[in-house]
Structure 1
Amino acid sequence: MASLTVADLVVMRQLSCTPLAGDSGLDHRLVWAHVCELPDPWNWVGADELLMTTGMCIPKSAADQRDLVRHLHERGTAGIAIGDDQQAPPLHDEMFAEANRLGYPILSVGHSTPFSAIGRTVAVAAQSEQIIRIARLSKLYEATRSAALGEATLLDQISRELGFEVHVVDVEVHSEVLARRTRLPRDVVTAVVDEVGDRLDRLPTRLPVVRDERLVATTFPLPTHRKCMLVAEGPDEVELDAFVLLHSQSLVAIEVERLTRERERTDAAEEQLMRQIVDGALGFDAAEPLLEQLGLAHQQWAVLCFAVTQLPFARTVIGDLTISKMTMSTGEESYLLVADRDFDEVVSALRPTIPAIGVSARTTAITRLGDALRQARWALHAARADGSSLAEYSSAAPLFLPRTLSEAHFAARAILGDLIDYDAENQSQLVETLDAYLSLDRSWTETADQLLIHRQTLGYRLKKIEALTGRSTKSSADISSFWNALVAYRISRGS
């Protein structure tokens, strides 16, 4: 009975299955019978499977019942068996007409017949099918073992076993997660992200991805901490056995979680190495073999600087690109060291999300890492000052800012010297007040709230600043001088 059909259930009188519509589809073969009461059962039942329901998943309106039949037919299910126990709403003629048009069987199951009896009947008949499934599942687990041994990537192996190309996309950071010999086209990744939209908290169970009115992929969620979808690439909807799909999702999810934990450990080790080099705790001779392991020794490189809040995103995206790097954070800034060969790819990946990035001058001397960090931080302040998304430290910097620490110190003292000295002598906060006031676009309310002071106190401090410096907080020229001096002061202090 390996080729059991819907008609076979009907002729087994003990099962009390009566056709209500779709008689022309009674020859559909059955491989499984599955109970589902969710409002979207077509997402939970696979091809050649019989949906069994007490009627709770059946909508009330005629139009919705017609759509239910259409969705189940498009999914490739064998038919629907509805329990005759008055749980279902009234079934409309429109539902039966659609079933007859599509040749989609609708059965009524007598209330004395438990669904388990139908399930066992189908399971016994489909035993040979189950053996095939188990064999395929064994191959998938073997694929995982082989991938761990480096014979091929896990996704390459699974793609070969399933018969179509699969990828993993993080729809939160818009990147492809696990390495493959070939990557998804960028427009397909974008299409997957767009289709998911704002459903990150509850990823769709099954989601066709359409681009320019053309199906480009079918996606399934992964049970991972990262918001990942398993993407089956191709112009046809993927009809994947639910049993095999479930285990494929589990296998890939395990690999994603393992890789995530491994990267976290690597990020921590790289940060420790970078700090030791900057602090001088690790000499160049000791650092060189470690840099060689990272693929960063004897390379021209640059340091990128951006807000510390963006560091987790940067680590995730650069990790997904499998690009050699070192990262660290200090204060409100974070730093990313990459080889010059990877610079363009890294910047292209970061710029859409990170609003301002500063870039140091290129060098091959790791002994100049500390200088590179200061240059990158300097360039970041320049980018923020003129509203650009990327600024590179160079002799052609357009903002007339000082280019060395000694020049920065001199520029800051020339404008803010009296305020700095007054704060030191009186334990006041005039420089901090001026910085907050200009950073918040001279908003009295926001500045007072940030500094936790009264507006009257803010007014007193601003008058004191004007008296000590001889400059006005209302003059555009003086405001420009104040701002550039504050940028130089931040960098000269290493903040």
Structure 2
Amino acid sequence: MPPTLGGLVRTPSLGLRPLTGDGGLDRAVGWVAVSELTDPTPYLAGGELLLTTGVRWADSPVDLREYVHRLALRDIAGLGFGVGVALERTPDQLREAAVEFGVALLEVPRPTPFIAIGKEVSRVLAKEEYEGLSRAFTAQRDLTRAALSGAAAVVDRLARDLGARVLLLSSDGAPRHTAPAGASPLPRDLGGGLDRLRAAGPRASAAVTAGAEHIWAQPLATGRRVRGFLAVGTDGPLGPEQRTLVNAAVSLLSLELERDAHGEGARLGEGVLAALLSGALDPADPGAERLVATLPPAPVVVAAADGAPGAPPPPGALVAAYGEGAVLLTAADTPDAVVTDLLDGPVGISDPADHTGLAAALAQAERAREAARSRGGGPVRAAELPGGLLGLADTPAGTRMAEELLAPLLAERSGADLLASLRAYLAASGRWDAAAEALGVHRHTLRYRMRRIRELLPVDLDDPDVRAELWISLRLHGARA
């Protein structure tokens, strides 16, 4: 649930007191704004809980009725007045205006800092976002599992999760599957929209309103060829979580329709591969053993590439679109030349693994692909890369972050001395005498340099996380110096 005024009132640590009754306490609070301006509305977007102490009202008389009227027109969530700063009690005129214009008014006691209210709203917003992401992840996992049973199961699952009318259409607009069963066909005014979608390409979408229903449609395609359409009818606009779920269904159905054109065996195997790689299917799940049997026998390797799948795979291998590129599952002894024939672009290849370790193998392959991009040559195997946590950081992205973190020191004329001093200081765990001795300088010289480093780096050198990050950055920088 999003934060509401009522929820804030019921938070004992805040001590807020409603002055306009229970009306409006169910209003959602999008954010907390603090302003002492006599007219803060140009800086409000609507939906905020505005907090003020009226500190300027004594010096610059304000028409409180007009003040509240402007806030009401801006559609704020509510107004909080902090007492004990400029005024010992909430002005009666402010309360009367709040009642007149339907603005919920809360009294904030002197011991409650405004920042505490903002933190509480941020906490609830973060909790809601996390719960939304968790729900979306669970729903996407269920959709992916449904895809193992075919396109119709994806449509049924999507309709159930959205509580909506969902239609899978063929490329000519004819219904292939409808959920819930017996749902009415699309309105006629979407027919022209399908023609426009077909011409606009796979990333286009169309939306119409038929009475109280909102209908959204998008083509299903893995390339330029449209193999069908997905249409979703809801009582209102799709929210962020719903749009995420629909987008996932579009991707799954696009793959399903594409695989249908290449045979049932390949479709099932690639669906199992995608489910294992994403974590949507656990090999220990009931019935998973039968599905995993459709994959090439272990030990296998996972190869990841930026480009689309190349040549059709030979027997005993699977190539599937995954994310923005493609993945290959093949026997561990497959030569590199065969792998590069099947995939386009920079290629990374994992260590051998069994079917229970495909998600970890994909991470290895993606890391090796990063190295292949930077080297600009042939495929890179994970076994060629340095191991450990430092090895995980030793990628183009990790190097770039390290250079960005150390950039203020590198820009100094004495940058080399500063880097050496920081390295010695961290290696000595902050012991001045030991670090100065290792450098061969007086400890006062080291203290001066460290003071300069603290001025240049926007971090807290006493934070162990910061020290670890700086140490890894120095190691990565030194390896390339």
When Rg is computed on C-alpha atoms for both structures, the one with the higher figure is 1
* Same fold, judged at TM 0.5 (above): no
Give the TM-score normalised by the residue count of structure 2.
0.30
Give the TM-score normalised by the residue count of structure 1.
0.29
